[in-house]
């Protein structure tokens, strides 16, 4: 209904007779002395207004909304601007607390956060962005940081950090130590820079055996202890079990993403910007604005866009791909100075939808690690 309620100055006339004669529809007629109050349409109001003095006292339906907007346009505009400013304020970082007493760690984190776009008066990061930033900071500073957590509280980021406690082998610079084997293997290269070689080239060793001893012995007595130093590379054996389907789908991140902002009003979504409907996305959302005095919540939904490719492999293609994947698994755990010496397929099983391989590898790896000499080990490793 888009009617209005009006007052008609009907002094000296019979308004009802006039309305009937001119086919003007009305209802809820009330007479007050020489005035009439009726409800009618906006078109009928225009007809009456040409003949009588009329005043609108109430709007209904769409006209009510339009009238409210016109009469309160400055207040509504101020509210919209205020909400926009509130959004800017609530999505901006105004303070960063790094909870540590170590000034070096604090300075290191301040610079690392700044390099990753986290500093005061900067836009807040999404949950996934914070995860990626934490992983990058830990990766870039793995010698100094063990753990880091970035917590958002209002417009403040609280950063909790645990400095890395250096591994035992890193703290043995001047302490007596042996070099022991961290894996089973056959020694291919060994050189002792400090300490006494206990094993030699072509010796087979078990995990935990002493390779270079820090006990310097003369006769049957230990004359002193030293910090062992040296390099020991060995042939190490391992196997990988790998399964490769003949038909599979691979999802590839395109590097593109869409930020979708929407209002949630009583569980109904109203898009503000960035709507993107596509099944090939991974979504993550966070609340941007949620105040008890507002009847809505503002959400930001980040959508990472992926493309997918379907593969249909022949038996030979699946075999080669499985073999390559097994090599990637081994290489993932090798350092720059380590490599694969030899590989051999021990087992090959072909099924209707996949192929399964067991691949044996010989690798060239550094198997020596430092271990502090304990009291009970004084007579070992000679």
CB atoms within 10 A of CB 140: 14
DSSP code string of 22-51: TT---EEEEEETTEEEEEE-HHHHHHHHHH
> In this structure, are residues 38 and 54 in contact, taking their beta carbons and an 8 Å threshold?
no
Place 22 in a pLDDT band, splitting at 50, 70 and 90: confident
The percent of residues in the chain predicted with pLDDT above 70, rounded, is 92
Asked if residue 380 has pLDDT above 50, the reply is: no
Place 350 in a pLDDT band, splitting at 50, 70 and 90: very high
Q: What phi and psi values does residue 197 have, to the nearest 5 degrees?
A: -65, 130
**Which of 164-168, 217-221, 253-257 is predicted with the least confidence, judged by mean pLDDT?**
164-168
Helices in 247-381 by DSSP H: which ranges? Answer: 315-331
Q: Which residue has the tokens 């109001």?
A: 45
> In this structure, are residues 133 and 157 in contact, taking their beta carbons and an 8 Å threshold?
no
Tokens of 223: 């004359």
Q: How far is CA 265 from CA 268, 299, 301, in A?
A: 5, 11, 16
The 10s digit of each residue's pLDDT in 117-147 is: 888 878 888 888 888 888 888 888 877 888 8
The 10s digit of each residue's pLDDT in 23-44 is: 888 888 888 777 888 888 888 8
């Amino acid at each position: 209904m888009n009617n209005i309620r009006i007052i008609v100055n009907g002094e000296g006339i019979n308004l009802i007779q006039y309305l009937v004669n001119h086919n003007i529809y009305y209802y809820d007629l009330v007479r007050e002395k020489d005035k009439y109050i009726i409800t009618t349409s906006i078109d009928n109001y225009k007809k009456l207004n040409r003949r009588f003095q009329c005043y609108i006292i109430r709007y209904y339906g769409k006209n009510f909304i339009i009238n409210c907007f016109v009469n309160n346009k400055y207040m509504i505009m101020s509210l919209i601007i205020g909400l926009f400013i509130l959004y800017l304020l609530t999505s901006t970082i105004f303070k960063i607390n790094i909870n540590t007493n170590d000034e070096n760690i604090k300075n290191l984190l301040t610079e690392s956060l700044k390099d990753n776009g986290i500093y005061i008066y900067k836009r807040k990061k999404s949950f996934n962005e914070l995860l990626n930033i934490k992983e990058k900071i830990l990766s870039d500073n793995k010698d100094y940081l063990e753990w880091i957590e970035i917590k958002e509280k209002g417009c403040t980021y609280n950063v909790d950090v645990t400095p890395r406690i250096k591994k035992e082998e890193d703290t043995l610079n001047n302490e007596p130590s042996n070099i022991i084997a961290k894996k089973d293997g056959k020694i291919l290269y060994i050189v002792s820079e400090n300490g006494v070689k206990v094993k030699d080239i072509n010796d087979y060793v078990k995990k935990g055996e002493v390779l270079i001893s820090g006990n310097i012995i003369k006769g049957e007595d230990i004359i002193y202890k030293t910090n062992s130093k040296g390099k020991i590379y060995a042939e190490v054996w391992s196997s990988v079990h790998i399964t490769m389907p003949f038909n599979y789908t691979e999802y590839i991140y395109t590097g593109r993403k869409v930020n979708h902002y929407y209002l949630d009003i009583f569980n109904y979504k109203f898009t503000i910007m960035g709507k993107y409907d596509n099944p090939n996305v991974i979504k993550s959302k966070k609340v941007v604005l949620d105040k008890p005095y507002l009847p809505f919540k503002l959400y930001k939904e980040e959508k990472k866009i992926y493309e997918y490719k379907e593969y249909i492999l022949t038996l030979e293609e699946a075999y080669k791909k499985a073999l390559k994947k097994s090599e990637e698994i081994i290489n993932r755990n090798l350092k720059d100075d380590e490599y694969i010496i030899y590989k051999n397929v021990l087992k090959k099983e072909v099924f209707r939808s996949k192929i399964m391989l067991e691949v044996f590898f010989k690798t060239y790896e550094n198997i020596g690690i430092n271990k502090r000499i304990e009291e009970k080990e004084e007579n070992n490793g000679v």
